[in-house]
Chains A and B, each alone.
Chain A
Amino acid sequence: MAKSKPRVKAPKSASKGDVVTIKTLISHKMESGQRKDKEGKVIPRQIINHFSAKFNGETVFEVTIEPAISANPYLQFKMRVEEAGEFEFTWTDDDGSVYSKKQKLKVG
């Protein structure tokens, strides 16, 4: 398949104590393992099975993902801002590939 491309929408700056909203999406077909091809053979499962969001190395939010999540998995969540730093978002594929994206956050 085409290479999965992660996309993140998070604020570039915030004030200390703010709760910010982070939206993420990764292009992925999320093959459920339930579908059959033309010959009636089951198409093997291949999904993004895990997502994690870290801030300055500390895990803020994690998701265990099952095949019931739609193609191009979308996740929206919140984080309370304590200090400036860097987000690191990681998606793990069934085939072992890991996709990640980093983004800095300024406080002030």
Chain B
Amino acid sequence: MTEISRRKALALGSGMVALAILPMPANASIEQVMEDIKTFTGGAEATESSIIKLEVPEIAENGNTVPLSVSVESPMTADNYVKRVILLAEKNPNPGIATFHFSSRSGVAEASTRMRLATTQNVVAVAELSDGSFHMTKSTVKVTIGGCGG
């Protein structure tokens, strides 16, 4: 009896170790996100700002198709408009989701699509304005069907 409980204790212990190690690759991907943002901004600082809004569900039952909507406050005139918005997922195998290229003809800088999310994570949106400034926002999505098969 003591033998079994010792084994159980060991199994539990190794399980804990595995859990502790698991988040590591996710951090690597967050670094990749920072790297992607840097490439997007050309090294310029992206400030957290309320002019960019990211609409995602709080909880997504199916990570295969998660609705996403992004909008940026802007007059969208020929000399003051939103050029691009990049969307990134912090814990997907590849962080890139999509880049929207707007023009002054867009009228409103707003677009929607559906994305895949591997697991519960942050979605990041960074906008480039025609004046050369960068604005970013973040939102967390909880994904129900991920590694555990729902």
Chain A residues with a Cβ under 8 A of chain B: 19, 32, 34, 55, 58-71, 73-80, 82
B interface residues with partner A (beta carbon < 8 Å)? 64-66, 69, 76, 89, 92-94, 96-103, 105-108, 110-117
Q: Which of A32, A58, A60, A66 contacts B98 (CB 8 A)?
A: A66
Q: How far is the CB of A85 from chain B (nearest CB, A)?
A: 11
Question: A75 touching B96 by the CB < 8 A rule?
Answer: no
By beta carbon, the residue of chain A nearest B64 is A70
Q: Given the complex, which residues of B lie within 8 Å of A60, measured CB to CB?
A: 103, 105-106
By CB atoms of chain A within 10 A, which of B107, B110, B112 has the most? B107
Closest partner residue, chain A, to B115 (CB atom): A68
- Which among A70, A73, A80, A82 has the greatest number of chain B C-beta atoms within 10 A? A70
Docked CA distance A62–B85 (Å):
11
Question: CA of A77 to CA of B101 in the docked complex: distance in angstroms?
Answer: 11
B33 to chain A, nearest CB (A): 12
20 A-B contacts (beta carbon < 8 Å): A34-B93, A61-B103, A61-B106, A61-B111, A63-B98, A63-B100, A64-B98, A64-B99, A65-B98, A66-B98, A68-B96, A69-B115, A74-B112, A74-B114, A76-B69, A77-B112, A78-B106, A79-B105, A79-B107, A80-B106
